Chains A and B, each alone.
Chain A
Amino acid sequence: DAGVIQSPRHEVTEMGQEVTLRCKPISGHNSLFWYRQTMMRGLELLIYFNNNVPIDDSGMPEDRFSAKMPNASFSTLKIQPSEPRDSAVYFCASSLLRLPLHFGNGTRLTVT
């Protein structure tokens, strides 16, 4: 079991650029979550998918953020255009039904 795989591990970009974060969930898991961790707000849910369908995107900060899950083994979180306040660690997690979430190691995003 390779666990949840996120890429890239680190991303440094300039304000205004498009950023795409990628996630491969654990095979067989039917739910996928994107979280953002900041010092001020801790771990906050951005969006989650159930069987590839977005269920709750109320945590997505604004229209600059979008997420897709084209199939059961891949998801992306895109920020366009990026801003310095988007700097954070972004985690992807997957789970089966209501079992505990399994997290990836995160992507540290820095927007200058």
Chain B
Amino acid sequence: DQQVKQNSPSLSVQEGRISILNCDYTNSMFDYFLWYKKYPAEGPTFLISISSIKDKNEDGRFTVFLNKSAKHLSLHIVPSQPGDSAVYFCAASGGNYGQNFVFGPGTRLSVLP
């Protein structure tokens, strides 16, 4: 049973446009969410986080939105750059999971020049 879902395995966007990556979760106890970016042959690197007391967090070109009632979060990248091409993972923690993070299956983003 996947508790963190990323229903789009891949996404292609033109350079300069907005990239929107989506994530849904089922466990209402999750209260802390993160996005990671992963390049081939490297480990995932932390991008941005949001706690359940907020509905938006922004860091430069990256913004994460959280809709608790819908159990949905999204990552917006504006403007998208070719260097953003990577696999993006959504992760969640909280409740019985304590310090553990549950990861989604990832979305491969391709930013086309």
Contact = CB atoms under 8 A, between A and B. Distances in A.
Given A31-B99, A42-B106, A45-B100, A103 B45 contact: yes
A25 interface: no
A93 interface: yes
B1 to A, nearest CB: 12
Interface stretch (B12-20, B21-29, B36-44, B65-73): B36-44
B21 to A, nearest CB: 15
Interface residues of A, number: 24
Contacts of B32: 98
Interface string B77-113: 0000000000001010100001111111110000000
Interface stretch (A13-21, A48-56, A77-85): A48-56
Given A42-B104, A42-B105, A98-B32, A104 B43 contact: yes
Nearest to B103: A43
B84 to A, nearest CB: 19
B44 A103 contact: yes
B99 A106 contact: no
A100 B43 contact: no
A95 B99 contact: yes
Nearest to B93: A98
B89 A56 contact: no
16 contacts: A33-B100, A43-B89, A43-B103, A44-B103, A48-B99, A55-B98, A91-B43, A93-B43, A95-B99, A98-B32, A100-B46, A101-B44, A101-B46, A103-B45, A104-B43, A105-B41
